[in-house]
Chains A and B, each alone.
Chain A
Amino acid sequence: MRTAIYGIGNILMGDDGVGPAVVRHLSNLPLPPNTTLEDLGTPSLDLPAYLLGYDRVIFIDAVAVDAPPGSIHVFTRDEIMAVPTGIRVSPHEPSINDALIVLDFAGTAPREVLLVGVVPQTLDGGMRLSPRVAGAVEGAREVVMALMESILIREAPAAALAPA
């Protein structure tokens, strides 16, 4: 099983940089084998290529939900896919659900997809996270680690049965 943990967002656009910030935080810790950790920035149309070959992907991104800035919300694949897409004018418009739709059609989408979302306070130009979102980085890192742990536990019996 191959897992990717991807931070999404622009570090020059205020709290949009929260995904990359969580990735930087995770990069100091040991990760399970077969796990890729990367700050993808805002890959848009390039995103499908980064998902190929993975069974599971955890995204960390800023999300617009009606909740206080700095709060953390985990979305399942079904919840991500429920958001309608629109006509694309530029290569910046496709997002996570667009990428999954493309790969579902190709038959090469990752089976499991989770999104750890952090509600931003400001997306205005600047490299600093707002205090509330900066305060959520550690929490988001813990959520990602907990998700990874639960996955490992779930898969442990199958792994134990595999020949050494």
Chain B
Amino acid sequence: MSSSASKRITIDPITRIEGHLRIDVEVDQGKVQKAWASSTMFRGIERILLGRDPREAWLFTQRFCGVCTTVHALASVRAVEDALSLEIPLNAQYIRNLILIAHALHDHVVHFYQLSALDWVDVTQVLKADPAKAASIAESLSDWPENSAKQMAAVKARVKGLVDSGQLGPFAHGYWGHPAMKLPPEVNLLAVSHYLQALEYQRYSNQVVAMLGGKTPHIQNVAVGGVANAINLDSEAALNVDRLYQMKSLLEKIVSFVQNVYVPDVCAVAGFYPDWFSYGAGVTNYLSVPDLPLDGKSTQFELPGGFIPNGDLSKLVPITGQKDETWRNAVTEDSAHSWYKGGGPLHPWKGETDPDYTDWEEDKKYSWVKAPRYNGQPAQVGPLANVLVGYAQGHPLMKKWTDAALEKISAIAHVRATPAMLHSTLGRHGARAIRAAVLSELALKQWQLLTDNILKGDTTIYNKPDFPKGTVEGVGFHEAPRGVLSHWVVVEDGTIKNYQAVVPTTWNASPRDTDGTPGPYEASLLQNPIADAEHPLEVLRTIHSFDPCMACAVHTFDPSGNNIARVKVL
């Protein structure tokens, strides 16, 4: 039990159908002393795949999550291709890479402006802002053309209209006037102005995904063995030069927004909250997988992967590809504190899902999320892991954009920002922006690779898969917007015998394991300041910095079916 001076806060939003996140923190002397992350919803998905044709698994896996449709489609075909050691054509790699980049850029921008910005931006302060001053601050940050004083004044008027109406609309649930809000009025205005512009840019990414994927949000063009995009420079109906250039012009718009708006905004917010570089580190083992394959066999990657133990970049162990034996053997899931029978760590190919619900018991079982471990240790995944793993290996773009972001933050905060400060709540936001900037450059590079390859006369898109008699095992991984995603498949005589998806939020929202070691969310909340226990804004800041996606994290199936009540709230 907690001491009489401490206070227990539970954040347990009533939400819709997807598995949702419950955070419990014990606060004493204005700081979090203990924390638990739990998912309270039980949810079944992988079981649907058992006995099916592995060639169609991706159609179902992209329904795992409405936000990350494409990533589950691609991890699935990669897993089956890995099981068959099937090479795919270069065009297929590039087309898939472009879809993944467009999706990631969309996702990172949406996460910042639509979900996290309100943790740092006080919309009511906009009314005190001087539009001309906001425009001049914006000008000092980047040369984005849509930052004029006139535009800022229009946004201010729009916010005033909202406040005068007595309803705060999309901002109704922000912690207005909270003592932890520190931005100057003009920076608040700048952020709201870009929040509105970000809505437009979401559409462009969707259009790129739709051009390549046939449809969005559920792409239609993937196949085990490649893609189903007809390439014919002389056909209106196929991928031709016109379409390639239309896509390029959309990509250029997105690239410009990411580099001139999103990155500077994150640096500005970070620069005004330097304290938050000292909270929220949590688990500093980082896991990231290589992605954006550059050859048909997926042995060379644009972005490197690896594991960093205890935040020590010099101890990085690279992950070379899906066939990397260390990676293949290191991943396990433990259910000592999860509502499943058994407890000990199991490899995903041997994964079991046998429910054992007990109610929320802080020292025993308290979550539907299992505890993934890498060589027995918890690991933080996501853009921060991706950036640190790239930085540690000297990836030129990761280095360029990390250094640029730290320099910008240093100038605003008047402190010397260093890579070590990235192990923090704000570090995760900064890393997401850095990763987006890197991906924005790589979008144009992948476009060029695809275009050059097509102009060279290569129109191949597909190699036919051939399923052997007997059992084959495969893993498909992807460095998704929220971090390492891996699909593990066992195929027997051409049908699926076992299928496990170990998703990014499972790594980060992991409960304690057999040894009692907490997961990244839990560890990151410790010692976070709490100014007002009734309004625990600081907890949201740290949890949001991971970009939680609980719908994915809870991906198990209830064989008995009816013991959980589910309510969908509109």
Interface residues of A (CB under 8 A from B): 10-13, 16, 38-46, 48-50, 52-53, 61-64, 80, 83, 85-98, 101-108, 115, 117, 120, 122-127
Q: Is the CB of A40 within 8 A of B217?
A: yes
Interface assignment of B433: CB less than 8 Å from any CB of chain A: no
Q: Is the CB of B17 within 8 A of A123?
A: yes
Contacts of B106 in A (CB 8 A): 46
A63 to B16, CA, bound (A): 10
Among B48, B67, B206, the residue within 8 A (CB) of A92 is: B67
Contacts of B547 in A (CB 8 A): 91
Most buried by B among A16, A38, A49, A87: A49
A54 to B18, CA, bound (A): 27
Q: Is the CB of B568 within 8 A of A86?
A: no
**5 further contact pairs, Cβ within 8 A, besides A52-B203, A91-B111, A125-B45:** A10-B17, A12-B64, A46-B217, A90-B549, A94-B114
Contacts of B404 in A (CB 8 A): none
A106 to B113, CA, bound (A): 13
Q: Is the CB of B17 within 8 A of A83?
A: no
Contacts of B67 in A (CB 8 A): 42-46, 91-92
16 A-B pairs whose Cβ atoms sit less than 8 Å apart in the complex: A40-B66, A45-B111, A46-B202, A52-B199, A63-B568, A86-B15, A87-B540, A89-B543, A90-B549, A91-B547, A92-B549, A122-B561, A125-B43, A125-B44, A125-B45, A125-B558
State the majority secondary structure of interface residues on B. loop
Interface assignment of B529: CB less than 8 Å from any CB of chain A: no
Interface assignment of B172: CB less than 8 Å from any CB of chain A: yes
Q: Is the CB of B549 within 8 A of A12?
A: no
A52-B203, A90-B548 given; A98·B569 CB < 8 A: no
Q: Is the CB of A83 within 8 A of B550?
A: no
A40-B217, A91-B110, A105-B170 given; A49·B66 CB < 8 A: no
Q: Is the CB of A89 within 8 A of B569?
A: no
A39-B218, A45-B114, A63-B568 given; A106·B17 CB < 8 A: no
Interface assignment of B557: CB less than 8 Å from any CB of chain A: yes
Contacts of A108 in B (CB 8 A): 199
Number of chain B interface residues as a range: 35 or more
Q: Is the CB of A92 within 8 A of B63?
A: no
**B118 shortest CB reach to chain A, Å:** 9
A41-B218, A42-B65, A124-B561 given; A102·B570 CB < 8 A: no
Contacts of B69 in A (CB 8 A): 41
List the 9 closest pairs (A to B, CB-CB), nearest first.
A125-B44, A42-B66, A49-B202, A41-B66, A92-B18, A90-B548, A105-B169, A102-B170, A123-B566
Interface positions, chain B 23-72, Cβ under 8 Å from A, are 43-45, 47-48, 60, 63-67, 69
A107 to B114, CA, bound (A): 16
Interface assignment of B162: CB less than 8 Å from any CB of chain A: yes
A41-B63, A92-B550, A98-B170 given; A86·B14 CB < 8 A: yes
Interface assignment of B420: CB less than 8 Å from any CB of chain A: no
Chain B 95-117 interface mask (CB, 8 Å, partner A; 1/0)? 00000000000100011001100
Q: Is the CB of B65 within 8 A of A126?
A: no
A12-B48, A44-B66 given; A87·B199 CB < 8 A: no
A11-B63, A49-B203 given; A125·B47 CB < 8 A: yes
Contacts of B567 in A (CB 8 A): 64
Contacts of A105 in B (CB 8 A): 158, 162, 169-170, 196
Cβ-closest chain B residue relative to A93: B15
Interface assignment of B21: CB less than 8 Å from any CB of chain A: yes
A12-B63, A16-B568, A44-B66 given; A125·B48 CB < 8 A: yes
Cβ-closest chain A residue relative to B114: A45
Most buried by B among A11, A92, A97, A120: A92
Contacts of A12 in B (CB 8 A): 45, 48, 60, 63-64
